Structure 1
Amino acid sequence: MNTQTLPAAGNVRFRNFLRSQMRNIAPFVTLIALVVFFAVASPSFLTVDNLGNILTTMSVTGIMAVGLTFVILCAEIDLSFAAIANATGIAVAYFTAQEAYVNVANVPLSGGMAIVLALIGCLVLGFVNAIGMTKVGIPSFIMTLAMMQIGAGICALLVRGQILYAVPPQVSYLGTESIGGVPVIVLVLALFLLVGHLVLTYTRFGRYVYMVGGNREAAEFSGVNVKLILGAVMVISAFCAGTSGMLGVAYFGSAQQDEFNGFLLDAISAVVVGGTSLFGGRGGIGNTIIGLCVLGVLNNGLDHVQIDSFLKILIRGLILLIALIINVYAQNLRAQQIQSTE
């Protein structure tokens, strides 16, 4: 046996491993590089208080990203979640402000009832997305683009150019208080991430999500109700968006039109930058966590080094572009490997 072939074979296997795991490795390397760079550039970056600030500021985006992860794993897209978050946040503030004037069956609206009505509203919007996709056959991009406008219209109708400040005490507690020095909103994010990971990893529904995203025709032949799965992930996305919208209103201290528009790109970036495939079937909550950390560290670190705000937007866009290139490149490598094995 030629012993020189052993290292060569090992190198080939190592290169193949790197190529196959590029989507997972690249975000982690990016995160480490950003932490090292900002730690050197700013002494105040690596502090406990700043870590808490990073976790808190990315909580609203993170809850949205959990629901969006389900959608992208199915090789679909949801452009309406930011508008649904805004509409839900405004709705809970609106119903809370109206509790002194509106009666339901002669019973004044309470904070809890305002929360229930707002959540029902966001679930209805998600259900409309699901019906449009699965029953009418509208592509998710177009359907959720229309829903984005509907959500914006609901916001405009409720606030009419004003700013609402009334928030139920339950939502205010979740969005602004702390337990043992840990913000409650961070604990809520951790709960959503944990539940999302458990569902995707250990449940039949989670396996079906990966099957639908990986090969929709094969999933149908296996007896999976593809339309039900697609509809379910749109409702999950709407629920996560609505929850984040309510907590965001409490965290920011007010509800107003277009308040969450900037979160559309942030949440999509977190999922994609983390390594979840835009083509579906690969990725998960673990990838989303890395993506959230990358964006959180980047946004916070740029503030510490006092980068121009317009340059900050450009840098975020470039990082998203690089993530998209890696995503597509990794998908092409996977397709080549599949063809070579056939």
Structure 2
Amino acid sequence: MTSTSEARPARQSVGDWFRNQLSNIAPFLTLLFLVAFFSFASSSFMSFGNLQNILQQVSITAIIAVGLTFVILTAEIDLSVASVANATGIVVAFFTLQDASVNIANIPLAGGFAIILAIATCVALGGITAIGVTRIGIPSFIMTLAMLQICDGISAMLVRGQIAYAVPSLVGELGSGSIFGIPWLIIVAALALLIGHVVLTYTRFGRYVYMVGGNREAAEYSGVNVKLIIAAVLMISAFCSGLAGMLGVAYFGSAQQNEFGTYLLDAIAAVVVGGTSLFGGRGGIGNTIIGLFVLGVLNNGLDHINIDSFLKILIRGLILLAALIINIYAERLRVSRSASH
């Protein structure tokens, strides 16, 4: 009798642990499956050179996804990330193209001032979004959808259908250069992910982000300035998008309208596929890294087996749908488990 009664709670605890960790386990198992499948299907997939290709291909998405992770952890959404990236990249390229002899405070437009202006642009766009959400009370979905249109308008107004190729030397080096054979873009993305992880895991601000996403009312009762936290994560998201936009222009070799169009879905997919809860309060940069690898391995692996490009889009959509189902199912399990206790 004693052994039976002891065995029953053990089985329960394993089941509870599995249900609680479902959103973390599923993406990792998906990644392992994809690596195994593509390694078997293509002899060229499993190599150091291809790993570097995957890392470089997901680097821009990674930088955007860092900021988006902060936003989603607070149970908000930012649909403007790709458009902010595009607008910022065009700003830095547009002002780099201006006459280098024109100086403002003795800073040439072709260099430092273009970078400063681009950073100021993305921060200002993030600030406008933050004011709309926290002060006016516009839902983040609607506010960032409006900001998406505003940023697209800025991009169209500056380039007017043209393509700009010039970027400051610093941006060019970080976006397309390398050190000891490692692209700077990978290093910048890794640093962004590391800083994001440290902030979320080891700082008071990070704890407040999780508190706001987990239970907004409880966070307010605990003295957390919820509106300030939401405003801050929206501005962090805009800054990360702006950084990705500047480096992306150097990586692509040009700045043009709608250049970052696919990155909205990619960034959201990386965060959600990795297991960060759409309902806020659960997940983090570690989950986003797994999601980035899932997307990177999937896209790269499909290229290695020469699959139809239209089918590739369909498969990515199905993977995202599966991740959304798992995300919502895991949240329901967690809520039902909490209610039962």
What range is the shorter-chain TM-score in? over 0.9
Counterpart Cα distance in 1 of 2:99 and 2:318: 46
Look up the match of 1:220. 220
Describe the superposition over 1:310-339 as per-residue Cα deviations: whole angstroms up to 9, x where unpaired.
Answer: 111111111111111011111111111111
**Displacement of 1:113 after TM fit?**
1.1
Q: Distance in 2 between matches of 1:110 and 1:308?
A: 42
Question: Aligned residue for 1:82?
Answer: 82
- Residues of 2 paired with 1:167 and 1:302: CA distance? 32
- RMSD across aligned positions (CA): 1.1
C-alpha separation in 2, matches of 1:166 and 1:143: 32
Give the match's secondary structure for 1:149.
helix
Rounded Cα–Cα distance in structure 1 between residues aligned with 2:222 and 2:156? 45
Shift of residue 105 of structure 1?
5.3
Matches within 5 A, 1:195-210: 195-210=195-210
Partner of 1:93: 93
- Residue of structure 2 equivalent to 1:13: 13
Q: What is the match of residue 177 of structure 2?
A: 177
Q: Per the alignment, do residues 100 and 206 of structure 1 end up closer, same or farther by CA in structure 2, a change over 3 Å counting?
A: same
Q: For 1:1-342, what aligned pairs fall within 5 Å after superposition?
A: 1-100=1-100, 102-104=102-104, 108-341=108-341
- TM-score, structure 1 length as denominator? 0.98
2-side partners of 1:155 and 1:101: how far apart?
25
Q: Cα deviations across residues 148-203 of structure 1 (Å, max 9, x unaligned)? A: 00000000000000000001100010011111111110000010001000000010
- CA distance in structure 2 between the partners assigned to 1:229 and 1:99 by the alignment: 41
Structure 1 segments of 4+ aligned residues over 4 angstroms from their partners: none
Q: In structure 1, the residue corresponding to 2:2 is in which secondary structure?
A: coil
In structure 1, C-alpha distance between the alignment counterparts of 2:271 and 2:303, rounded to whole Å? 22
Q: What 5-or-longer segments of structure 2 have no aligned partner?
A: none
Q: Distance in 2 between matches of 1:146 and 1:229?
A: 21
> Structure 1 residues 259 and 316, CA, compared in 2 at 3 Å: closer, same or farther?
same
Counterpart Cα distance in 2 of 1:107 and 1:325: 52
SS where residue 3 of structure 1 aligns? helix
Task: Output the CA distance in 2 between the equivalents of 1:5 and 1:302.
Answer: 50
Deviations 1:110-133 (A, max 9, x none): 411100100100000000000000
SS in 2 for 1:58: helix
What percentage of aligned pairs have identical amino acids?
67
Secondary structure of the structure 1 residue equivalent to 2:114: helix
The verdict on how the C-alpha distance between 1:150 and 1:101 changes in structure 2, with shifts beyond 3 A counting, is: farther
For residues 292 and 5 of structure 1, what CA distance do their matches in structure 2 show? 43
Task: For 2:51, give the aligned amino acid.
Answer: L
Q: Give the Cα separation in 2 of the matches to 1:278 and 1:196.
A: 18
SS in 1 for 2:165: coil
